[in-house]
Structure 1
Amino acid sequence: MREELERLKAETIKEIQGATDSFALNEIRVKVLGKKGTLTAILRGMGGLSPEERPVIGELVNRVREEIETVLGERGRIIAAEEQNLRLAQEEIDILLPGRKPKMGHSHPLQLVLEEIEEIFLGMGFTIAEGPEIETDYYNFEALNLPKNHPARDMQDSLYITAETLLRTHTSPVQVRTMEKTCPNPIRIIAPGRVYRRDALDASHSPMFHQIEGLVVEEGITFGDLKGVLTVFVKKLFGENRLVRFRPSFFPFTEPSAEVDVSCSCSGKGCRIC
């Protein structure tokens, strides 16, 4: 058995030194030192030895195990270093390569138009007013003289959150809030923002869209002032050559009511827009 142990040690050390990766090294460890390994089998066979041989062979087995474990540890450290160097070489970062510049973002087209509209009205002496998008029924309807049975409510299928809270259906609540804060001083504001309706999504409808409205409260203001402001706005936004037409219309919440038509950029030649 002594010769068998010496031969096992020599063969195992040779295999260990020939291992090229940690996986192969672990296979050798299991094959020799594992629960079903060669050296473990020899230990289990010591029961058949004489009482005199048992301590001698036992000491030899322990010495062989220690030598194999020492060689395994040394070879394992070498292989681990080699594998790490290989990984580092594969993951090498060339710090001399030019950096990747982040892509520059840009404003959304809606935001660009909104900013242009605001600049036009600021140039005419207006200020920008804002309000919450989640409104109370009072500010969205009642304070605008739209009681529960008012026909205008039928024109705006609202998105209610609670019985008295909803997503605003227009930016008009901003007018009420501004008048509460400003009264009795003159007012000249525009109120741009997102509004919400229970509309099916298609080419011309959306459950969320943008509105902009203005409010002027001042002595001597007439419908002519409204026409003048809107005409200047249209020509500033769309171009000086645009034609503007005011025509009577019906809205259950304003009196008098009118709509504004603007000529197309094709000058009447016909295009996919008009």
Structure 2
Amino acid sequence: MAESEEMYARFSADLEGAATRSELAAVQNRHLGRASRIKEEFRRLGELPEPQRRARASMLNDLARRMREEVDGRIEAAQAAESEQRLASEWLDMSLPGQAPRRGAWHPLTEVERRCLEVLRRLGFERADGPEVEDPYHNFDALNIPQHHPARDMQDTFWLDAGLLLRSHTTTIQARVLSARPRPPVKVAAAGRVYRNEAVDATHMAMFHQLEGFWLEPGLTMGHLKEILVYVARALYGRRVKLRFKPKYYPYTEPSVGLDIACTACGGEGCEACHRVGWVTIIGAGMIHPAVLREFGYDRDGVRGIAFGWGTTRMTAQWLGISKVRSLYAPNQRRLAYLHRGVA
């Protein structure tokens, strides 16, 4: 019995230190193979007298069966673990849709909007959206445009029932974001359709697209604003684009500036795309008006804001070198495909 316990103890120690199937197979061969000690003991049974031989054979058989059951169980468990690991590494979800090549292309307006948002995303701006059906407070009053303000005539829009209206600019999203009182710094970009009750001609539409961004943080200055505008313009039009700033007026910024670029179609010489003036205003911007900051409770702790925006409709027209923005909204797929070559 002492000899049996010694052989089993050595087997258990070797089995405990084996993890993989190859290591377990080596343990099995070492303790149960032809050259193992237990096999040697079986071969020596003939040297013993009958009663002793029978008792020793029974003990060796029990020991061999016990060791074989344990090592077989460990080998089976190791095999299952390795199979599970291999399946996990080679797993493929056949229910996922295939990666088919993209067909068609984005509408030029959508392509330009996506590029503009990508530029602002590099600067840390987060996308926000708002409703196209607005109330007068978020469209006018909260943005320093009271009822008697002349800008209400310039931004005359379409009025709906219950005193609602179609938003005349995407600055309504700025009003909605700030009304939630987020803690500075706040950097938000917004884009979408806007509506104005204008006579439709070659350069004006009753519905068009805008995109804007605003940044709220203590210590902001006009220097931050100009640096952002120059970065955005060069990222969209190239580093060699000619730029100029000029004073502007917007009711929700003070002071206000406009950023012009030399017409991309003529290089500033004057053509139909720029109406023969050579320059096109692409971005209107300024420091957020103190009245707007006061309206939303940010007139404290040195918080300042900058805001800037542009019409993606006009920007797309500049990109494509066309003078009639109406063609961007025409349901002519061949025409849009032809125009898209200038953006791709």
Length-normalised TM-score, structure 1: 0.59
Distance (whole Å) between structure 2 residues aligned to residue 129 and residue 152 of structure 1: 25
Q: Is residue 2:261 matched to residue 1:268?
A: no
Bigger-Rg structure (1/2): 1
C-alpha offsets along residues 153-179 of structure 1, whole Å, 9 cap, x if unaligned?
111111000252000000111001111
Q: How many Å apart are 1:105 and its aligned residue?
A: 2.9
Q: Indicate conservation of the 8 Å contact 2:136/2:165, yes or no.
A: yes
CA separation in 2, counterparts of 1:121 and 1:245?
21
* CA displacement at 1:130 relative to structure 2: 0.8
Cα 1:164–1:113, aligned 2, differ >3 Å: closer, same or farther?
same
1:6-25 pair list within 5 angstroms: none
Give aligned pairs, total.
Answer: 173
Q: Secondary structure at the match of 2:160?
A: strand
Counterpart of 1:188 in structure 2 is 187
Structure 1 243/160 Cα, relative in aligned 2: closer, same or farther at 3 Å? Answer: same
Partner Cα separation in structure 1 for residue 203 and residue 247 of structure 2: 23
Partner Cα separation in structure 1 for residue 248 and residue 180 of structure 2: 31
Which amino acid in structure 2 is aligned with residue 137 of structure 1?
Answer: P
Q: Partner residue of 2:115? A: 116
Write the mapping of 1:231-250 to structure 2, written as runs, cut at 5 A. 231-250=230-249
Question: Residue 222 in 1 paired to residue 217 in 2?
Answer: no
Residues 192 and 211, structure 2, Cα contact 8 Å, conserved in 1: yes
Distance 1:174 1:195, change over 3 A: same
User: Which of the pair has the greater relative contact order for Cα pairs under 8 Å at 6+ separation?
Assistant: 2
Structure 1 position 133 matched with structure 2 position 99: no
- Partner Cα distance (1:120, 1:172) in 2: 19
Partner of 2:151: 152
Deviation at 1:240?
Answer: 0.8
What SS class does the counterpart of residue 221 from structure 1 fall into?
coil
Give unpaired runs (5+ residues) of structure 1. Answer: 1-102
Tell me, in whole angstroms, the C-alpha distance in 2 between the residues paired with 1:180 and 1:141. Answer: 14
Counterpart of 1:174 in structure 2 is 173
Q: Deviations over 1:63-104 (max 9, x none)?
A: xxxxxxxxxxxxxxxxxxxxxxxxxxxxxxxxxxxxxxxx93
The answer on whether the counterparts of 1:152 and 1:253 sit within 8 Å (CA) in structure 2 is: no
Q: CA deviation at 1:137?
A: 1.1
Corresponding residue for residue 201 of structure 2: 202
Distance of 2:173 and 2:225 partners within structure 1: 19
Deviation at 1:143?
1.4
Runs of 4+ in 1 over 6 A off after TM superposition: none
CA distance, structure 2, for counterparts of residue 118 and residue 145 of structure 1: 27
> 1:190: Cα distance to partner?
1.3
- In 2, Cα distance between the equivalents of 1:184 and 1:202? 43
Q: Using the alignment, how far apart are the partners of 2:162 and 2:136 within structure 1? A: 8
- Residues 168/268 of structure 1: CA separation in 2 closer, same or farther (3 Å cut): closer
What is residue 212 of structure 2 aligned with on the other side?
213
Which amino acid counterpart does residue 263 of structure 1 have in structure 2?
A: A
Displacement of 1:208 in angstroms is 0.4
Separation in structure 2 between the aligned mates of residue 108 and residue 227 of structure 1, nearest angstrom: 30
Q: How far apart are residue 264 of structure 1 and its match?
A: 2.4
Contact 1:242 1:264 in 2 (8 A): no
Paired with 1:260 and 1:141, the residues of 2 have a C-alpha distance of 24
Instruction: Give the TM-score taking structure 2 as reference length.
Output: 0.48
Report the secondary structure of 2:220's partner residue: coil
The CA deviation at 1:141 is 1.0
Q: Name the stretch that deviates more: 124-133 or 174-183.
A: 174-183
Matched-pair contact (CA < 8 Å) for 1:246–1:259: yes
Question: For residues 169 and 107 of structure 2, what CA distance do their matches in structure 1 show?
Answer: 22
Whole-angstrom CA distance in 2 between matches of 1:154 and 1:268: 32
Check 1:150–1:272 CA distance in 2 against 1; reply closer, same or farther (3 A cut): closer
- Partners of 2:234 and 2:179 in 1: CA distance: 33
How many Å separate the matches in 1 of 2:273 and 2:197?
A: 26
Kindly state the Cα deviation for residue 251 of structure 1 after the two structures are TM-superposed.
2.8
Deviation at 1:270, TM superposition (A): 4.6
For 1:250, the aligned partner's letter is Y
Q: Give 1:206 deviation, angstroms.
A: 0.4
